[in-house]
Amino acid sequence: MKKHLLFLGAPGAGKGTQAELLSKTHSYLHLSTGELLRKEIEMKTPLGKEVKDIINRGELVSDELVLKIVRQNLDKANQGWILDGYPRNLSQANSLNQVLIEINQTLEIVFYLDIPEEVLIKRLLLRGRKDDTEETIRTRVDIYKKTTEPLIEYYKDLSLLKYIDANRELKTISSEIQQKMA
C-alpha cells in the first residue's frame, strides 16, 4: 500500500475531496497548502504572521515559505501523507524532491484527476463561491494549464503518474484510487 501520495488536477477536479476521503480511511496527513497556510495564520505562529502580512499586501506567498510549511508538516510523525495541490510548478516539484530526500521520504504515486474543461467549469459554477464566475474560472484553468500541466509529463517520465477519470461518480473514483494504491 502506497503511503506518500500526490494529487494533481485542475481547480474543481476533486483533489481535495478524494484526498480527504483517503486521509480519513488510512489516517494519512492531508496536506493542502491553502489549509496549511490558513492554519499557520490562525495559530499565530511566526510563519503564520509572515504569511498573513504577505497576503494582506496582496502578494503571493513565496515558494520557499510554502515549502517550509510543507516540510514542517511532513516532518511530523505520520502513517502516510497526501499532498493536495502542491507542487504547482516544476520549480516547486524540484524543491519538494530535495526536501523528501533530506527527510528520507519518497513520493510513491501521483494521481492526476483528469476532467474535461467544460465539465469542470459547470462543476465550479454549481459550487457557488462568490469569486467563481465563468471568467475567473477560465482564468484559473488557463493559469493551471500553463504552470501545473507540465508536472503531468514530469511525473509521467518518473513513472509515478496514474490517470484517473474524474468525470465519474465519487465512489467510482475513490475505488479506482484505492486499487491503484495497492
Residues 6+ apart with CB under 8 A from 55: 37, 41, 61
What residue ranges do the domains of the chain occupy?
A: 4-181
Task: Give the model's pLDDT for residue 128.
Answer: 78
pTM: 0.90
Strands lying side by side in the sheet with 109-114: 29-32, 81-84, 4-8, 109-114, 161-165
Q: What mean pLDDT is reported for the chain?
A: 93
Q: Give the position of cell 496536506.
A: 31
Could you write out the DSSP letters of every residue in 102-127? Answer: HTT----EEEEEE--HHHHHHHHHHH
Residue 131 reports pLDDT greater than 80: no
Cα 2 from Cα 16, distance rounded (Å): 18
Contacts 24+ apart (CB under 8 A), 152-160: 152/8, 152/112, 154/90, 154/93, 155/6, 155/8, 155/93, 155/110, 155/112, 160/6, 160/107, 160/108, 160/109, 160/110
Which CATH entry fits the domain spanning 4-181: 1.10.132.20, 3.40.50.300, 3.40.50.2000, 3.50.30.10? 3.40.50.300
Residue 73: pLDDT band with limits 50, 70, 90: very high
Supply the pLDDT for residue 55. Answer: 87
Q: What is the pLDDT of residues 84-110, one digit of tens each?
A: 989 989 999 999 999 999 999 999 999
